[in-house]
Amino acid sequence: MSFVELCKKGVVVLDGAMGTELQLRGLAIGESPESWNLSHPEIVREIHEAYFEAGADIAYTNTFGANPAKYHGAEPLRDVVAAAVANARAAAGRNRLVALDVGPTGRLLKPAGDFEFDAAYDAFAEQIRLGAEAGADFVAIETITDTYELKAAVLAARENCSLPVLATVALGEDGKLLTGAGVDAIAALFDALKVDACGFNCGLGPDRMLPFVRALAERVNVPIIVKANAGMPRVVDGKTSFNVDPEQFAADIAACVRAGARIVGGCCGTTSAHIRRVREATAGFVPDVSAPVRRSVVSSYSRAVELSLDDTIVIGERINPTGKKKLKEAYRSGDTGYVLREAVAQAQAGAQILDVNAGVPGIDESAVLRSTVEAVQSVCELPLQIDTSSPAALENALRHYNGKALVNSVNGKQQVMDEVFPVVAKYGGVVVALTLDENGIPPTAEGRLAIARKIIAEGAKYGLERCDFVIDVLCLAVSAEPDSVEVILESLRRVRSELGVLSVLGVSNISFGLPARPCLNAAFYALALGAGLSAAIVNPLCREMMATYRAYRALTGRDRNCSEWIEAAESLVPAATVAPANIAATVQSAPSGQDEPLGPLAGAIRHALKADSERIARELLAAGRSPIEIIDGEIVPALEIVGRGFETGKVFLPQLLMAAEAASAAFEIIRASLAQSGVETTARGPIVIATVKGDIHDIGKNIVRSLLENYGFRVIDLGRDVPPEKIVEAALRHQCRLVGLSALMTTTVPFMAETIKALNAADPAIRTFVGGAVLTADYAAEIGASYYAKDAMASVRIAEEFFK
Amino acid sequence: MKIDRAEVFRYMRTDRAKVDAVLESRLAAVETQVLAAVRPAAYWQLVKVEGCDSAYRVGPLELASRNLYRELASCPHAFLFCATLGAGVDALLRQTACMSAADLVMVQAVAAALIETYCDECETRMAAEVAAAGETLRMRFSPGYGDLPLATQKPLLVALDAQRRAGITLSETFLMMPSKSVSAIIGAGPVGGARPRSCQRCGKLDCEFRIEE
């Protein structure tokens, strides 16, 4: 009998715990359970047989820890997996099935941890190939606590065998994974990866799983698995016990079945007695045939966003280099910091999804798009819209995207559909469909709808449904196409009423070539919302646009009681200017122990008043003070006073950093003014900094980076856990003469020494400065560092001295 | 969980008496963010301590650390312990790092204070478990303290099944992830046998947080 046939029969019963059963039979805590497949096959078989005898349809092999990233037993992995499948098969006979149990790698994937996605994939792939060769009937991925690891495991199963794939995750008490995904985001990923059955195991008892089973049933169309613990574990004197007895367990499982579970069994602490009662309690259950779920959901590692005809959402447009000189520059120079700040700022402004586009001539778009997607996901939990016209770049980015993405875009050109649909079908996603084809953009709504219909029909061949599409009816500049607005609005109305499909627009295009664009954009945005626009690609940092979005939702009852409007109100009106008298009062009342006379800007900087520093810088410029004079007469002396205050213990680290941020904000105003008059300011540097290999603590290094930047240095930050060769390569490529290295642990200082040696060998002119909790001046000298930085300010002093 | 402000200022190496309203209000905002990001989880097992000082066993762990042995003197039992604030704090640290170093220092300090508070809460519960047997807890002794190698993290966390029970994993260099995590061995022995907590027993003389008595 196949897995599919089995599922048609009603409730499928899985086995119970393996690990706790082995412990009862003498497996010591810390000993490898997988080794027992070879050393004690009779015991493993006996456990499988007991479960089958109790009524299980399926046995999970004793291979939970047989992942090459985790397994360190003496016996070869191949032999272990083969023996495990053989043991289960021997007990299963001909009428029952054997699932290859695939547990987590035991490592935490980047960015939360230090393990590469591709390495996790390779590890899963090896175990799965071995299990398939050994003759498992299907793959059961279980106890996953991170969406990224789930994706690596399922892709590995899909691409390395042809067996059905079951996947279950381990929820915490709050119904979330370790890295933050709730049932909605987990369900979106299950759906994107097209697993054959999905659900929950471990973590909780079946009573606690019930609400999450219900939530999952509202979101997926495949059979739902519940493999629950017998309550919570407690260990006394080395003996583990669980608190839910077979009777209660079976009653709770039956409730999960009524809520939608179809494949049920036990995890930690369950025994054959539990499984016997589960079999009895679920016998004869006839499931309702419910209508399939059709929802348009995208997700990230922790968050799901549902697009709906009943509401509208904002997609942040700012990580798209078209027409953005600074972003182009940032992509070319590899300045990830700029992109990340744009991402976080848009999220804070209220965007629900962020567009990410890396289409800059002269760069490797595929590599940069992927690394940008990864970097943005490391700091921002919003789902992303992956925006590229290159199918190769799309595949690379989608493969490494943590979640289910919005894909921008496909269009009606046959070749584009032939290239894009297979990728979307493989990785899942909701697709933006542009209503253009080989003949260009139709001038009428009828023409655009025809293309939308064609795209949806073609997508159906790949298994995509209407809910997987968002139609972009295309926004053309009103300056060039005076009638375009009416065509757009009619198209929006008809996409909704005739196709019943979601719509999206890049709203800002409407004002191209005209002055005062934000006002025009906002007015057009309001019209489009009125015509039923489901999603708008806009600048969330533009006050007018967010005001329109929030007003629309408040006025149409989508923002009940206008509570979101009220909460956002402060950000929707122009910033009130603080009366100068207030500043003076704050400045005077703030205790900083310095009393030399200073200008107003220096005062604001010293007291870390960022908004005031920006405002005063603008006022000084408007009053005709020369930029150089403001820098030399206010900003530099203020920084000097704060820096000296820190060094003499009068100013504390958070105050130093806040003052430096205020200075940097004022400097940015002045730099922009200089740039307008054609004067480019150049930062000193560059300085390459990194936390050395083996060390994942990067807070200190991040503080140093930020302070150096605020003091006017250009910093290339390589991140944490950086191997020596990568630091050498970056130093040479950027012709960098000063390199900063950080290490927090005694155990990672040897990598610091190795890096310094490698830098010296590559270019004896390179100087290094080192810092970190375990370092001292003597220790720094011993490992060959040029300078020792005892704190962040000392790093600034070293850089000032070096670049003098 | 309650934030111990005095500890936060200590971790920021900042004299609370000398800070102004600007810093106080930023700190309040950061505290809200950290509390929203925290998802604490902990797990412990009570195991037997057996053997003599050159080679002894704490449950499944075979150890040779003399510093720990001294801490466990006269303890028939010990707790193997792990606790974490969860991966959300690391996500917040990453996000904050690209926006503001000042906020980063504050997030770090608030989270550091919170994990200590959480461990103290867990200790209260562990103490209650052994109180009936007439035992009290000794100090939280972590891999990396004194002569207990950092590499002890591995067998300790394996014994606890820490990934499954608390979501804690190790880097190849034995650093815990999520970063705001604690693992420890905590002796449980006769009342009155505990030595007072003191920085004087620690050999790290240049520790920036050392408290002189």
CA Rg, chain A, in Å? 30
Chain-chain contact of B98 with A337 (C-beta, under 8 angstroms)? yes
Residue in B94, B99, B100 nearest the CB of A378 = B94
Q: Which of A625, A646, A676 is the last residue of a domain?
A: A676
B40, amino acid identity:
P
Chain-chain contact of A773 with B39 (C-beta, under 8 angstroms)? no
The contacts of residue A789 (CB under 8 Å, 6+ apart) are A704, A740, A769, A770, A771, A795, A798
Chain A, residues 674-693, CB within 8 A of chain B, namely none
Q: Which residues face B55 on adjacent strands? A: B52
**pLDDT score at B101:** 94
As given in the structure block, the two tokens for residue A336 are 């990830």
Burial of A197 (0-12, 13-18, 19+ CB in 10 A): buried
C-alpha separations of B108 from A494, A767, A788, B5, B33 in Å: 52, 30, 23, 13, 12
**pLDDT score at B20:** 81
Q: Which of A676, A696, A729 is the last residue of a domain?
A: A676
What torsion do the CA atoms of A600, A604, A606, A609 make, to the nearest 10 degrees?
Answer: 180
Instruction: Report the alpha-carbon distance of residue A595 to residue A592 in Å, rounded.
Output: 8
Chain B, residues 32-91, CB within 8 A of chain A, namely 39, 41, 44-48, 59-61, 77, 86-88, 90-91
Chain B interface includes A516 (CB < 8 A)? no
Contact (Cβ atoms closer than 8 angstroms) between residue A182 and residue A213: no
Residues of B in contact with A108 (CB under 8 A): 87, 169, 177-178
As given in the structure block, the two tokens for residue A61 are 């092999």
Q: Do residues A55 and A121 share a domain?
A: yes
**pLDDT score at A445:** 97
C-alpha separations of A489 from A312, A445, A527, A544 in Å: 15, 9, 8, 20
Contact (Cβ atoms closer than 8 angstroms) between residue A795 and residue A707: yes
- Would you say residue A431 lies in a domain? yes
A490, amino acid identity:
E
Q: Do residues A215 and A309 share a domain?
A: no
* φ, ψ dihedrals at B7, nearest 5°: -65, -40
The tokens 């953005």 sit on which residue? A324
Q: Do residues A275 and A341 share a domain?
A: no
Contact (Cβ atoms closer than 8 angstroms) between residue A620 and residue A632: no
* φ, ψ dihedrals at A597, nearest 5°: -70, 140
Instruction: Report the alpha-carbon distance of residue A525 to residue B155 in Å, rounded.
Output: 59
As given in the structure block, the two tokens for residue A737 are 């003469």
Instruction: Report the alpha-carbon distance of residue A402 to residue B191 in Å, rounded.
Output: 51
Pinpoint the alpha helices (H) of A93-219.
Answer: 117-133, 147-160, 183-193, 206-217
Instruction: Report the alpha-carbon distance of residue A752 to residue A762 in Å, rounded.
Output: 15
**pLDDT score at A573:** 79
What torsion do the CA atoms of A708, A714, A720, A725 make, to the nearest 10 degrees?
Answer: -130
Q: Do residues A653 and A711 share a domain?
A: no
Chain A interface includes B100 (CB < 8 A)? yes
Chain-chain contact of B172 with A114 (C-beta, under 8 angstroms)? yes
Chain-chain contact of B23 with A655 (C-beta, under 8 angstroms)? yes
**CA atoms within 13 A of residue A287's CA, in its CB half-sphere:** 22
* φ, ψ dihedrals at A319, nearest 5°: -95, 60
**pLDDT score at A585:** 46
Q: Do residues A236 and A351 share a domain?
A: no
Residue in A654, A661, A696 nearest the CB of B177 = A696
pLDDT in tens, A99-145: 999 999 999 999 989 999 999 999 999 999 999 999 999 999 999 99
Chain-chain contact of B158 with A179 (C-beta, under 8 angstroms)? no
Looking at domain B5-193, its CATH architecture is 3-Layer(aba) Sandwich (3.40)
- Would you say residue A705 lies in a domain? yes
C-alpha separations of A179 from A107, A113, A258 in Å: 13, 10, 29
How many domains are there within chain A? 4
Chain-chain contact of B22 with A590 (C-beta, under 8 angstroms)? yes
Q: Do residues A254 and A358 share a domain?
A: no
- Would you say residue A567 lies in a domain? no
Instruction: Report the alpha-carbon distance of residue A181 to residue A630 in Å, rounded.
Output: 49
Q: Do residues A623 and A740 share a domain?
A: no
Mean pLDDT of chain B: 90
DSSP secondary structure, A701-733, as one string: HHHHHHHHHHTTEEEEE--SSB-HHHHHHHHHH
The chain B residue lying nearest A774, using CA atoms, is B207
Residues of A in contact with B95 (CB under 8 A): 344, 379-380
The contacts of residue A204 (CB under 8 Å, 6+ apart) are A171, A173, A228, A229
Residues of A in contact with B94 (CB under 8 A): 111, 378-379
Q: Do residues A314 and A228 share a domain?
A: no
Burial of A773 (0-12, 13-18, 19+ CB in 10 A): middle
Residue extents of the structural domains in chain B: 5-193
Q: Do residues A589 and A615 share a domain?
A: yes
Element (H or E) spanning A356, and its range?
strand A353-357
- Would you say residue A753 lies in a domain? yes
**pLDDT score at A579:** 44
**pLDDT score at A432:** 98
What mean pLDDT is predicted for residues B8-19?
Answer: 89
Chain A, residues 716-755, CB within 8 A of chain B, namely 721, 745, 747-748
**pLDDT score at B43:** 94
* φ, ψ dihedrals at A57, nearest 5°: -95, -25
Residues of B in contact with A171 (CB under 8 A): none
**pLDDT score at B205:** 67
Residue in B102, B155, B159 nearest the CB of A661 = B102
Instruction: Report the alpha-carbon distance of residue B83 to residue B63 in Å, rounded.
Output: 21
Chain-chain contact of A172 with B41 (C-beta, under 8 angstroms)? yes
Q: Do residues A253 and A334 share a domain?
A: no
The chain A residue lying nearest B94, using CA atoms, is A379
pLDDT in tens, B48-107: 999 877 789 999 999 999 889 988 988 999 999 999 999 999 999 999 999 999 999 999
**pLDDT score at A575:** 59
Chain B, residues 180-199, CB within 8 A of chain A, namely none
Contact (Cβ atoms closer than 8 angstroms) between residue A20 and residue A51: no
- Residue A311, SS3? coil
Q: Which residues face B181 on adjacent strands? A: B84
The chain B residue lying nearest A339, using CA atoms, is B98
Contact (Cβ atoms closer than 8 angstroms) between residue A529 and residue A310: no
Instruction: Tell me how close the Cα of A339 comes to any Cα of chain B, in angstroms.
Output: 10
Domain of A480 in residue numbering reads as 296-542
**pLDDT score at A749:** 87
Q: Do residues A633 and A772 share a domain?
A: no
Chain-chain contact of B90 with A344 (C-beta, under 8 angstroms)? no
Residues of B in contact with A776 (CB under 8 A): 206
DSSP secondary structure, A112-134, as one string: TSSB-HHHHHHHHHHHHHHHHHT
Cα angle at A712 between A710 and A716, to 5 degrees?
Answer: 85
Question: Which segments of chain A have a pLDDT < 70?
Answer: 235-238, 575-597
Closest of A750, A697, A692 to residue A726, by C-alpha: A692
Q: Do residues A705 and A589 share a domain?
A: no
Chain A, residues 634-663, CB within 8 A of chain B, namely 650, 652-655, 657-658, 660-661
**pLDDT score at A580:** 45
pLDDT in tens, A740-767: 999 988 888 899 999 999 999 999 999 9
* CATH number for position A525: 3.20.20.20
Chain B interface includes A585 (CB < 8 A)? no
Chain-chain contact of A379 with B22 (C-beta, under 8 angstroms)? no
C-alpha separations of A664 from A650, A670, A709, A712, B187 in Å: 21, 10, 8, 8, 51
- Would you say residue A569 lies in a domain? no
Chain B interface includes A665 (CB < 8 A)? no
Please state the pTM of the whole predicted model: 0.92
